[in-house]
Structure 1
Amino acid sequence: MKLKIFERFEQQQDGPAKAQGIAIWQAAIFIAAQIAGSGVLALPKAASDAGGWLGLGIMLVLCVNATFAGAHLGLCWAIAERHYPDLKTHIRNPYPTLGEKAYGRWLSIVISVAMQVELIGTGTVFLLLSAQIIETLLLPYELSVNACVWLPTLAAFLCPAMWLGSPKDFWQFGVGALLTTLTTCIIATVESINDAATGLLPPPDTSVTLTPKSFFLGFGVIIFSFGGASTFPTIQNDMRHREKFPISVMVAFAAIITMYVPVTAAGFAVYGHDVQSSILNSISSGPAVVAAQILIAIHLVTAFVILTNPATQYIEHLLNIPHKFGWKRCLVRTCVLLLMVFIGETVRDFGKVLSLVGGSTTTLLNMVFPPIIYLKFKSTLEPESTVPLWRKIYLLVILVIGLVGGVAATYSAILDIVGPQSFRKPCYIP
């Protein structure tokens, strides 16, 4: 299948297929699984913050932008492979490598730092949210075990899975993560509609109301919900046909937006601006909501393994640890997991971390770096191949939206974190 929009995927690169590696559909599952998850629960609230129905429109636009930029990040790797044959082997730090080939060592360092902050921060969010869901589920049984205890317990459970090598070693985790998210979205949508059908809820306030701070907080959460570009080159590097990665990106984002739109639209239409940070907290309690909470917790712990893998692989690369199972790998990845536990026990509020990560590093990795790397490669490595004007303009628009929106969203998130009554005592302080 060749799509004109991506110039036939740069003429279907002539590099050899890998004898072993994941297929196009497996790569799409990995992409969708590690993107869709915790963010989907916060989207109705994010849409409310971003102006209600206006926020839903922004979500659609940002989805198209993320798809376009993500596909071009895949094209960047294909271009790099054509001009740097050594990249056809397994590369443990593919995204920073692209930055270095395009602009030099400085961009490689910037990308590396952004990746580690995003992946470790997002991994912490996943652990925190999972622990809080478990705490909520056990409240009716009067168990006095809070999220501070469940956080290290979950980490201990996940630790052996983190020792696995790279995505091709645990593609089943991606299938499980995607199925749980899909089921959760269906439950949340149906139960929201059921709440509206009871006639017991007051008429929802769905007016377009927003402030600059609320708009950019919503922007940050929406960007986070489409975040994941930091893992794209790692997933692409494990494919049999790397040049077909843009197909995986488009399939994955089509599946993601299909899940996101019903949940967001139903949640805001039913609860209006009163919708809570997690849509599951707005829905009337019942067996279906409990099932959804269990499923999203399962998703978080399975997607966690996929999400944190690029960060640990890069750290191992810096430490010259062999790309094979051994005690050094186990030690490094265990230490990374302990760092996430410490951050989670210190911060405790996953929502604020989500907004901050989404507005800062996720925006850089998803909307800023892909356009500048692609345009640089085309101008220096393949100057004979002219970039169509429409494509260049669209990439520059994505870049500007990322820069302006990212700075504003990060500033708004910081104000929210340091605002009154935002501090929570760390778990380890009596």
Structure 2
Amino acid sequence: MSFVKVKGTYDVLPNESKRWQALEKFVRDLFNTFKYEEIRTPMMEYSNVFHRENEQSDMVTKETYNFKDKGDRDLTLRPEGTAGVIRSYVENKLYANNRLTKLYYIGPNFRYERPQKGRYRQFMQFGVEAVGSSDPFVDAEVIFLAYETIRRLGLKGVKVKLNSIGDDLSKSNYKKVLVDYLTPFKDQLSADSIERLNKNPLRILDSKAPEDKEIVENAPLPINYLSDAAKEHFNKVKEALDALNVPYIIDGKIVRGLDYYSHTVFEIEAAIPGFGAQNTLGGGGRYESLVEELGGPRLGAIGFAFGMERLLYALEMENIQLVNEERLDAYFIYFDEPSKSMSFKLLNELRQDDFKVDMSYLPKSFKSQLKEALDLKAKYLVIIGENELKDQMVQLKNTDTQIQELIPMNQLKEKLGVL
């Protein structure tokens, strides 16, 4: 019987984990600069956090992992980060300080969709949520942070695709126009879109079905049916982005994949040759009703998320290295049990002072130990044989210069500290 990983999942092996750690550190450092604080929420929530009456996106209706626990409670593995963050924001009354609450998260999500390169059923996301304000300058700050995330990583051709789907009045007006446009094509739409036509026609704009894509190609766009208030909000967002020199293009077809969005929506993409037709790395938007839907006051918020697998793949395609070469300070080579015992004692004394040192615990020859030391890019070799042990000395060899010297054991720490 063979044991393999679950379809749509992956293992991060030690040679890859350093890239993940480097990206996570980069994200934390950057988000802290913008005064966003980390929040960690459970990977599972009660199902009603995601399966809300007004949420009809494919992600929620078709792709969630749902199950009952032993207490017969309905639970869902989180398919995205925002709803859980807002649940926590409301439950812990973070709105009580009457301030803009700026949060970021890093963690796994789960969606039952077709696995492909850079997209998995268990996947990692990082993102931010700025909760408690409807100020368009907050939109601009969040978009700027998303843009800076990609730009500072070194990806080229970074740009923002921007749109507004407006406020409740705008969406109500647009919904009527869209239904009028789509109704004559009803028999040509996919089965899912026929069902959405009366329930939530905006979802049809986001359909992946080929027959739907062809029909919506000439559909009216939300941005052309904005209320005066929504136009004013969007204009202020654009003015603020202009002041920050953020390159953006207006793309009237962006609606994002979740129903709670309103006003500003955006995606971030980069020019990556060979990355495929879809260069979008992340995106997000404003939501005005989600806090209220989850039991809190009516407060505006905006956020974004990036898929870490896809982002790491993009960095790999562009040959951008996040990890500096790590080298051992020293590697101990021994010849017998007594010299092995002394090597073990000395290297752990060095570790107490934060030296990066190692040795082999397998029965290896001098040649095999030397090969392992060079594979690990050790800066120095510490060689202990019978004579060195008897005289309380070690051979210290610089692997770059090949200079070797005999030094007292009690000077090893000092010598390595200077070198």
The alignment's TM-score, normalised by the length of structure 1, stands at 0.21
User: Comparing both chains, which one has the higher relative contact order based on Cα–Cα distances under 8 Å and sequence gaps of 6 or more?
Assistant: 1
Q: Larger helix proportion, structure 1 or 2? A: 1
Q: Larger strand proportion, structure 1 or 2? A: 2
The alignment's TM-score, normalised by the length of structure 2, stands at 0.21
